[in-house]
Amino acid sequence: MKNIQNLIRKISELNAANLFDKDFLLTWEKSENDLKQILLIAETLKEMRDNNISPKVFDSGLAVSLFRDNSTRTRFSYSSAASLLGLSVQDLDEKKAQIAHGETVRETANMISFLTEAVGIRDDMYLGAGEAYMREFGDALTDGYNQGVLPSRPTIVNLQSDVDHPTQSMADLQHLIKHFGGLDKLKGKKIAVTWAYSPSYGKPLSVPQGIIGLMTRFGMNVSLAYPENYNLIPEVEKIAAKQAKENGGSFEITDSMNHAFKDADIIYPKSWAPYWVMGKRTELLRNNDHSGLKELEQQALAENAKHKSWEVNEDMVNLTKNKNALYMHPLPADISGLNCENGEVTNEIFERYRIETYKEAGWKPYIIAAMIFAGKFKNPSETLENILKRNQKRISG
């Protein structure tokens, strides 16, 4: 109880003001205190559940999910988060909705939101479109609320766009805080965010972009490594460099995985499709150019195959600080000798850190719940205090 009360006190002292009645789309749009508030609310909700205290704040209402790409961890994390707060999840299947018959975004947003408190959207397939879709959806919700159509304005949570994956990066940050013993302990730590080989193509840019866009906010030394022509969205790389300078950390881009791993405290190897490939892929998808897509896939896979050495193995780990850097991955990983012949990481290394990656993923339901919570309650510390006073057991008996 004392730990929960201490967390609530910290939330109150932050006085964060950019979360209530707002969507959570990009971490770099939020202030440092806003981000700290999400982390603290997430930890408070976890402490409550771990101590058999029900943190339900809704006795009815929907949390709508819209996944335009496949998902396991994020899909179930969103459902878990909604359930934790007392909301029922309704998945919007576009193939079964009137969207297939030309229903506009404006109509869809309003029709699904009459009794909805949160909308989680994953739209990472089209470069330049996913983020734009979420903002168009949000504008439609605001209009519906202002016109008296909706009794309240649902909060949108970005469950992964073409630009950012905030629920992943914030869960990763929470994991790092626990691993190293505090947010202040991360300042000066080196994190290697590197491309790694994959036998597939078309993986979104938003995970590495989310990591460099968040970790540079807290004074970390971020080393971004990728082969030539595998760059991320240039604007995001510029944002990371600017934030590193402002927050006492550093940001570099290198074409050497070895250089990035040298003396790193944390390694984050993850395959992604080059910026130019994702741009071309979007163009071909929009034009339904199937032959062009097949040609692009073969070209991209051939280029990937030139860089099979970009794999995390024992020799690479030995380059890191004390030969024991924390390995991180959003999962699922391409594991050499297990689910593919050659991949991002050897089975030996992945198995060594497998439980840690599960713990990393385990923060995502609480981060999503915190984003919904902060978006719906103007004074989250007061609401959490009332939950604590109520002391309703999650499991009776």
Are the C-beta atoms of 193 and 328 separated by less than 8 Å? no
Residue 233, both tokens: 């969205």
Q: 346-350 — which CB contacts under 8 Å span 24+ positions? A: 346/311, 346/312, 346/313, 346/314, 348/313, 348/314, 349/312, 349/313, 349/314, 349/317
Neighbours of 283 (CB within 10 A): 16
Residue 15 confidence (pLDDT): 79
Residue-level pLDDT at 397:
73
Residues of the chain with CATH 3.40.50.1370: 2-164+364-390, 166-361
Q: Are strands 190-194 and 266-269 parallel, antiparallel or unpaired?
A: parallel
Query: d(Cα 311, Cα 17) in Å, to the nearest integer?
Result: 43
Domain 2-164+364-390: which CATH number of 3.40.50.1370, 3.30.930.10, 2.60.120.1310, 3.30.70.20: 3.40.50.1370
160 bridge partner residues: 122
CA 33 from centroid of its chain's CA atoms: 18
Q: Do the Cβ atoms of 329 and 346 come closer than 8 Å?
A: no
User: What pLDDT sits at residue 100?
Assistant: 60
**Which stretches within the chain are classed as H helix?**
2-14, 32-50, 73-85, 105-111, 130-146, 166-180, 206-215, 234-246, 257-261, 275-286, 290-305, 314-317, 347-362, 364-376, 380-390
User: pTM of the entire structure?
Assistant: 0.96
Give the distance, in angstroms, between the CA of residue 153 and the centroid of all CA atoms in the same chain: 23
pLDDT value at residue 17: 74
Contact between residue 187 and residue 220 where contact means Cβ atoms under 8 Å apart: yes
User: Which residue has 């006085």 as its token pair?
Assistant: 15
According to the model, what pLDDT value does residue 122 have?
Answer: 97
* Ordered mean pLDDT values, 10 residues apiece, the chain (397 residues): 94 88 97 97 98 96 94 95 98 76 88 97 92 97 98 97 98 98 97 97 94 98 97 98 98 98 98 94 91 95 96 98 98 97 98 98 98 97 96 90
- What CATH fold (topology level) applies to the domain 166-361? Rossmann fold (3.40.50)
How open is the CA angle 61-54-48, to the nearest 5 degrees? Answer: 125
Strand ranges of the sheet holding 326-327, from the earlier edge strand across to the other edge:
250-254, 221-225, 190-194, 266-269, 326-327
Residue 222 in contact with residue 191, Cβ under 8 Å?
A: yes
Contact between residue 223 and residue 260 where contact means Cβ atoms under 8 Å apart: yes
Say what the pLDDT of residue 98 is.
67
**pLDDT tens for each residue of 191-237:** 999 999 999 988 999 999 999 999 999 999 999 999 999 999 999 99
CA distance 258 to 269: 12
Structure tokens at 190: 């080196």
Write down the pLDDT at residue 142.
Answer: 98
What b/e sequence results for 65-82 when a residue is b if at least 16 CB atoms lie within 10 Å of its CB, and e otherwise? Answer: bbbbeebebbbebbbbbb
Q: How far apart are CA 77 and CA 159, in angstroms?
A: 10
